[in-house]
Chain A
Amino acid sequence: MTGLLLAEFTTTEKWVVNSFWGVIAVVMVYAALRVVTTKNVVHAALWLVVVLAGVAVQFLFLGAEFVAVTQILVYIGAVIVLFLFGVMLTRASMGDDETVADEKRAMAAVVGVLLLAVMAFALVDSFDDVEITADGPQSVTTVSDSIFSQYIVPFEAVSVLLLAALIGAIVVARQD
């Protein structure tokens, strides 16, 4: 069903899609800014949820709906919950976590802006008029075929990685 919905997307006029995309983008950027600037840790986690949802929508725009779904499922579902657990367990400075000293922030901001400028320049310089057409959502079958044919090795590696991470987390966080 979602495949149909998305197909619908592509056929409507261009500018509608673009304007809709713009809104999503702005929301995402604002949420990201809030994540890094908010005093309250839980607020930061919640703003992070907004950003991740935005990313999922981007995936939809790009036609990778399986990835979008995974994104929502894994990222928002598991990672944010983990974060909240973490916050709860550490009961740390719920409210009053302020950032590092001012001139450090200024310096970090400068670094960020510098990085952004360089990347923006590079991107604009090389891809300025490349059109992208999400000419049909990649069905789950194509994704799963490629995973289990071409990328079987990385898949196995990731599985092992996840297992290791699991055990590692347990060992690290053990009480005794």
Chain B
Amino acid sequence: MFATLAAEAVSTVTTVTNDAAWFLENAWIIPLLPAISFALILFFGKRMPYKGAEIGITAVSVSFILAILTGVAWLDHRDHFELEKYGEEQAIAVSDGAASATDTVAYTARFVAAEAGEGGAHPYVAVQSSTQWLQSGGIEFNAGIMVDGLSVMMLFVVTFISLLVHVYSTDYVGGDRRYTHFFAFLSLFTASMLFFVLSDNILQMIVGWELVGVCSFALIGHWWEEKPNSDAALKAFLTNRVGDVGLLVGMITLFFAAGGGKTFDTIKINEAVVQGGVSHTALVVAAACLTAAVMSKSGQFILHTWLPDAMAGPTPVSALIHAATMVVAGIYMVARLYPVFWEGMQIEGSSINLLATVGAITVVGAGLLAFVQDDIKKVLAYSTVSQLGYMAMALGVGAWTAAVFHLFTHAFFKANLFLGSGSVAHAVHSFDMKKDMGGMRKFMPKTYVTFVIGSLALAGVFPLAGFWSKDEILVNTGGWDLLGGSGAAPGSYTFHFVMGMIGAALTAAYMTRCVYLTFHGEYRGGHAAHDDHGHDHEEDAAHGHHGEPHESGPRILYPLYILSAFSILIGFVNLPPGFLAGSKKDPAGWQERFLHFVEPAGSSYFPAVGHATPSWSLAIVASLVAVAGAGFAYYYYFIRLDRLSKQLGESLVAIPNGITTTNVFARAGHTLLVNKYYFDHLYTGIIAGFTKGPLARAANWINQNVIDGTVNKAGESAVQAGQLVYHKIDQAVVDGAVNLSGRVSDASGEELRAINSGKVQNYAALMFAGAAVLAGAFVILLAL
């Protein structure tokens, strides 16, 4: 049903705008609109009836519509590609259709063959239009846009979620003093993200990359009155800047090494790399540096510390920037410059590489950390870091489509979760699950439903989006066929496969914990008045409803509904082949649509990426693992703790929760004494708690002290070095030398003063003596 509807939509639209190419060439309007809205809001926002929000929303919605039209135009372009319409020079990446059908990659060949069935395979051609930006020292810098499957997908995601977040924020940020300011920067962010997504050369990527960083700085620090917020904003920006060093160096290496040297153009660089014209060392250096940039921007393990702190910003910001769009910029960049990583990291055929390993570690590390958090947004933040780890791992193991598809689905359900948590926090005025939430199911049933859908999608339960994308990644790690699965993935990354599986289990577990603590048990937040570190917007407190929290307004709920619908349905966009074998009428009809439209398979600027054949056995095992994780957490929380808290009569918070406190020996001793009965509970705590408790806290400790510590220490040591250098070297040595010369001349001046004694005779004597000596010298010299 859905497929036919989409097909009609495609045909009707293309007939209407027969020249679909117009959308592809003029996609640059999409980023321009929010940029203009930013300027308008900045100058006229205050005076508008809705204080600037309406400018923002109209701009983003128009961009959204344009994005859809560009998407449709791309679908048409991809399927009915006519060479003459685009002319030779534009069709840069025309390939002869039949992909390099190496027999080993049976799957791709089969697919292409099926494709051929529809009147000749259609080459994948990116539409690029660029103008000269500046020319310096004989080097051309041009700025332009490049529209292909990847950018169209990103356009859709960014504009869609930005629109929802705009609507959501009108209610959420309602009474805030800097309401207009917030919307101005939201538009600027959307504009710079779209600018980044559409850029056709790496210089533009750098520009977009940093602009997005600045907007996140401004939005995280929205309530900059409190120091922790501005600290978080500063930390976010500085960590991104650290990554930017890698970005700069990487891009410069590419600029000189690739594309016959001296070109920023992405397609030329990729083609040069694919044709093998670039020196391997340059590629390794570039890939390593760009991975560093990814690690900082997409919160991979070593430089991820800023992402949880970035939760200090308003929730819509977290939803838009730190879940759906900005953090995936790193992943997008890797996807865009995939040949560089494909060659640089020798993804094909090897079993380990930097990008994949970093991704894998992040998956498990962040998963564990999510367990220990009390703040609902921090849990979601760590889960985002973990999912980004998935995407990075997918890219690392060669599963390009799986990573991009996971990025696509993740954006929806993670945004859904964040907005859901925002709606709960909005009602309770705090983000602390332990103290102020619990039992919200009764007060906010709608948010509860959407939140559960989001969690299930994230955990990867069967019909929902998460299942399809995560499963795709796990298959493509190639680890499964070693354990008896089937299908040849590019590399055999068993270690990453195992980490992926653990990650899946952890995700399910901590999401269940989060759902329980927030929505189940009894409401702990009676005393809603005190919200210690919650963001108390002045006006908001005014109309604060102290009694029972109630469901949020429509402007918050409708985005949640839409996102939940997407979380459910979006998975079907990329069904693995053979899944809908049933419908004879359209055997290949609705399979691999995402792969077909997005992956530039067979184009000249994309390496021949193998696809593992999705295997049923893996799908079942993966979901079983997820269900096990969820079940275990469910058992622990929903049954043990629930009954315990009912039995003991206090709310969950009062009783010392076995997981997070038993391992602090001092308190453990105390609790043990208080209620002997508690003892057997401790056993289950030890068995269940061990894997979650100390490991997570150790990870957290490492994370907070070791990594975060080093980051802070680096900052402090820089300051100390600054003090040392400034006081010791600058003032004492360099400046000292200068002052010394001043003092020396002054002192010698002092001695000479005595000669000027005022007595005339002395002068006469000196004069004559001088004359005598001179005459003498003169005479002697003459005599010689």
Chains A and B touch each other in the complex, with CB atoms below 8 Å apart: yes
* A118-B769 in contact (CB<8A): no
Binds B, one of A107-115, A129-137, A159-167: A107-115
Taking A100-B761, A107-B765, A111-B765 as contacts, is the C-beta distance between A122 and B772 under 8 angstroms?
A: no
Taking A111-B768, A111-B769, A114-B772 as contacts, is the C-beta distance between A122 and B779 under 8 angstroms?
A: yes
CB neighbours of A111 from chain B (8 A): 765, 768-769, 772
- Chain A nearest CB from B766 CB (Å) reads 9
User: Which secondary structure dominates where chain A touches chain B?
Assistant: helix
* B768-A115 in contact (CB<8A): yes
* A122-B769 in contact (CB<8A): no
* Complex-state Cα separation, A125 to B780, whole angstroms: 11
- Interface-centre pick from A118, A119, A122 (highest chain B CB count, 10 A): A118
Confirm or deny: B771 has a beta carbon within 8 angstroms of a beta carbon on chain A: yes
Question: Residue-by-residue, is B745-775 near A (CB-CB < 8 Å gives 1, otherwise 0)?
Answer: 0000000000000000100010011011101
- Chain A nearest CB from B442 CB (Å) reads 114
CB neighbours of A114 from chain B (8 A): 769, 772-773, 776
* Complex-state Cα separation, A122 to B778, whole angstroms: 10
* Complex-state Cα separation, A115 to B775, whole angstroms: 8
Taking A125-B779, A125-B783 as contacts, is the C-beta distance between A118 and B772 under 8 angstroms?
A: yes
Confirm or deny: A121 has a beta carbon within 8 angstroms of a beta carbon on chain B: yes
Give the number of residues in B that approach A within 8 Å (Cβ atoms). 11
Within 8 A of A (CB), among B452-510: none
* Complex-state Cα separation, A115 to B768, whole angstroms: 8
CB neighbours of A104 from chain B (8 A): 761, 765
CB neighbours of A125 from chain B (8 A): 779, 783
CB neighbours of A108 from chain B (8 A): 765
Within 8 A of B (CB), among A80-129: 100, 104, 107-108, 111, 114-115, 117-119, 121-122, 125
Q: Of B761, B772, B783, which is within 8 A of A115 by CB? A: B772
CB neighbours of B772 from chain A (8 A): 111, 114-115, 118
* Complex-state Cα separation, A149 to B761, whole angstroms: 41
* Complex-state Cα separation, A154 to B761, whole angstroms: 31
Q: Which residue of B lies closest to A100 (CB)?
A: B761
The total of Cβ contacts below 8 Å across the A-B interface reads 28
Q: Which residue of B lies closest to A117 (CB)?
A: B776
Question: Residue-by-residue, is A25-41 near B (CB-CB < 8 Å gives 1, otherwise 0)?
Answer: 00000000000000000
Within 8 A of A (CB), among B172-220: none
- Chain B nearest CB from A143 CB (Å) reads 32
Q: Which residue of A lies closest to B761 (CB)?
A: A100
CB neighbours of A121 from chain B (8 A): 779
- Interface-centre pick from A107, A114, A117, A119 (highest chain B CB count, 10 A): A114
* Complex-state Cα separation, A122 to B775, whole angstroms: 9
- Chain A nearest CB from B511 CB (Å) reads 105
Within 8 A of A (CB), among B84-127: none
- Chain A nearest CB from B761 CB (Å) reads 7
* Complex-state Cα separation, A104 to B771, whole angstroms: 18
* A119-B765 in contact (CB<8A): no
Q: Which residue of A lies closest to B767 (CB)?
A: A111
* A118-B779 in contact (CB<8A): yes
* A118-B765 in contact (CB<8A): no
CB neighbours of B783 from chain A (8 A): 125
* B776-A118 in contact (CB<8A): yes
CB neighbours of A100 from chain B (8 A): 761
- Interface-centre pick from A107, A108, A111 (highest chain B CB count, 10 A): A111
Q: Which residue of B lies closest to A113 (CB)?
A: B772
* Complex-state Cα separation, A12 to B775, whole angstroms: 39
* B775-A118 in contact (CB<8A): yes
CB neighbours of B779 from chain A (8 A): 118, 121-122, 125
- Chain A nearest CB from B80 CB (Å) reads 114
Q: Which residue of B lies closest to A115 (CB)?
A: B772
- Chain B nearest CB from A106 CB (Å) reads 11
* Complex-state Cα separation, A119 to B775, whole angstroms: 8
- Interface-centre pick from B768, B772, B783 (highest chain A CB count, 10 A): B772
A-B contacts, 26 listed (Cβ < 8 Å): A100-B761, A104-B761, A107-B765, A108-B765, A111-B765, A111-B768, A111-B769, A111-B772, A114-B769, A114-B772, A114-B773, A114-B776, A115-B768, A115-B771, A115-B772, A115-B775, A117-B776, A118-B772, A118-B775, A118-B776, A118-B779, A119-B775, A121-B779, A122-B779, A125-B779, A125-B783
In the complex, besides A104-B761, A114-B776, 6 extra interface pairs with C-beta distance below 8 angstroms are: A111-B765, A115-B772, A117-B776, A118-B776, A118-B779, A121-B779
- The 7 A-B residue pairs with the shortest CB-CB distance in the complex, in nearest-first order: A115-B772, A118-B776, A114-B772, A118-B775, A111-B769, A122-B779, A111-B768
A contacts, CB < 8 Å to B = 100, 104, 107-108, 111, 114-115, 117-119, 121-122, 125
B contacts, CB < 8 Å to A = 761, 765, 768-769, 771-773, 775-776, 779, 783
